[in-house]
Amino acid sequence: MSSHLWQHGPKWLTTPDYWPSLQPPPLPPMVLAAAVATEFVPMKQAPPDLGLHCAISIDRHSSLTKLLSVTAYVYRFIDNLRTQLQQRLSGPVNAEELQRVSLRWIKDAQQSIYWKEINNLQMTTKQPKTARLETAKFPFLLPPKHPLSRLIILDIHIKLCHSGTNATLTGLRQSFWIHAARQYVKSILHHCVTCHKVNGRPYAVPDPPPLPQLRTQDVQPFTFTGVDFTGALYVQQDKEEGKVYLCLFTCATTRAVHLEIAQDLTADTFLMAFRKFAGSRSLPTIMMSDSGSTYLSAASELRSLMESPTVKEELGRRSVSWQFIPKRAPWFGGFWERLIGLSKSAIKKVLGRRHVSLLTLETITVEVEATLNDRPLTFVSLN
């Protein structure tokens, strides 16, 4: 009964000067950093504690896909807090969300490193251009040795079937520009565990002799074609494990590649693969191969097929002759043996130890063929 608080309430109810401030509580630091990550504020010094990287650590993510997915879910959470319950998003992230967070991460990386260059571009007065920005006009400019740049290079390297430095650098420069990118890409690929597992120590061969005449003639693609089989690949067929083989056709002049899946090493199966190759590419003039028993019987049947009346009129002016390299001399077919190694290496890196279905293997084979045909043939310069 003697309590003043019970009888009259808090003191600020009767005294206006003591009324508390009605300002809303501040947002948590992580939410505030993510919300203002992409807003540019001109500054005279680097922002050490502002940006998307302060809310989400790039070093905690092993791939670009995981980083973008986590960031997309964080932004979805922030957007759902600001919208009504009926309009909130749920389920897996879509392509639009991934594209949005990808651009925000690129802006965050640029603002954290190139903040001086951005300030110079935002100012109305003319400032001397930085040398690092003169050659990057259209691609996204990324800083070297940045965690985001490392994840982007690894993502491109994996999408290109773990290709080498030139192919990865070519794929990178289709969308991004990194200063001194070749050395950075080479250092990242040097630590790729999958490439180290598959690639072995190269064999030191002597200096090769001059190329033969058919390798240097200006003719149509696949006029002179080399053919070879890879080792057995294992697939799942009717809940059982089966063997298939990869038949490779390569042009001796353009180094183009055509891959076919053969279910065995019989002559009939090879002839079916040869017919599909000739139908989709072109009918070669000279076929070259190892002197194996499969090719000897296939060449005999092919000669009989060419002499038949049904195809003699069509192939009258273009006959296919078969040439075999010397026995026990695989270096004579080095131009297809090299591509055999690239094809097997790419398939092993993509599949690992998994045994997939025949349809999946055929799809991966087509993708590997497209990657090999899109590979750079010469040194990719910095210009």
Q: What is the dihedral of CA 149, 150, 151, 155, to 10 degrees?
A: 100
Indicate whether 206 belongs to any domain. Answer: no
> What is the structure's pLDDT at 373?
92
Residues 5 and 147 in one domain: no
Indicate whether 84 belongs to any domain. Answer: yes
Residues 81 and 98 in one domain: yes
Residues 237 and 367 in one domain: yes
Residue 136 has pLDDT above 50, yes or no: no
Pick the range with the lowest mean pLDDT from 41-55, 229-243, 348-362: 41-55
Query: What spatial distance separates the first Cα and last Cα of the chain, rounded to whole Å?
Result: 89
Total domains present in the chain: 3
Residue 337 has pLDDT above 90, yes or no: no
Residue 233, strand partner residues: 244
Tokens of 279: 């139908």
Indicate whether 382 belongs to any domain. Answer: no
Q: Give 249-297 pLDDT, tens digit per residue.
A: 999 888 899 999 988 888 778 888 888 998 888 888 888 887 766 666 6
The parent domain of residue 269 ranges over 219-373
Range with top average pLDDT, 8-12, 61-65, 165-169: 165-169
Global pTM value: 0.57
Buried b (16+ CB within 10 A) or exposed e, 239-261: eeeeebbbbbbbbbbebbbbbbb
Q: What is the Cα–Cα distance from 337 to 335, expressed in whole angstroms?
A: 6
Q: Which amino acid is at 374?
A: D
Residues 170 and 254 in one domain: no
Indicate whether 227 belongs to any domain. Answer: yes
Going through the chain in order, the beta strands assigned E by DSSP cover: 140-142, 176-178, 224-229, 233-237, 240-251, 257-262, 286-289, 321-324, 356-357
Strands 176-178 and 140-142: parallel
Residue 76 has pLDDT above 50, yes or no: yes
Average pLDDT over residues 13-40: 55
Q: 24, exposed or middle or buried, with CB in 10 Å at 0-12, 13-18, 19+? A: exposed
Q: What is the Cα–Cα distance from 290 to 167, expressed in whole angstroms?
A: 29
Half-sphere exposure of 224 (CA within 13 A, CB side): 17
Indicate whether 182 belongs to any domain. Answer: yes
pLDDT greater at residue 322 or residue 18? 322
Where does a domain end: 129, 150, 165? 129
Residues 195 and 263 in one domain: no
- Classify the C-alpha dihedral 258-262-265-269 as positive or negative: negative
Residues 195 and 122 in one domain: no
Residue 367 pLDDT level (bands cut at 50, 70, 90): very high
> What is the structure's pLDDT at 314?
46
Indicate whether 113 belongs to any domain. Answer: yes
- Classify the C-alpha dihedral 366-370-373-378 as positive or negative: negative
Indicate whether 28 belongs to any domain. Answer: yes
> What is the structure's pLDDT at 131?
46
Strands 240-251 and 233-237: antiparallel
Residues 239 and 320 in one domain: yes
> What is the structure's pLDDT at 368?
93
Where does a domain end: 129, 150, 176? 129
Residues 1 and 80 in one domain: yes
Element (H, E) at 165: helix 165-172
Residues 3 and 111 in one domain: yes
Tokens of 360: 């999946």
Q: Give 93-131 pLDDT, tens digit per residue.
A: 888 888 888 888 988 888 888 777 777 777 755 555 554
Residue 47 has pLDDT above 70, yes or no: no
Residues 62 and 43 in one domain: yes
Where does a domain end: 110, 129, 148? 129
Pick the range with the lowest mean pLDDT from 266-270, 296-300, 323-327: 296-300
- Helical packing angle, 165-172 and 147-159, nearest 10°: 110
Indicate whether 271 belongs to any domain. Answer: yes
Residue 32 has pLDDT above 50, yes or no: no
> What is the structure's pLDDT at 134?
56
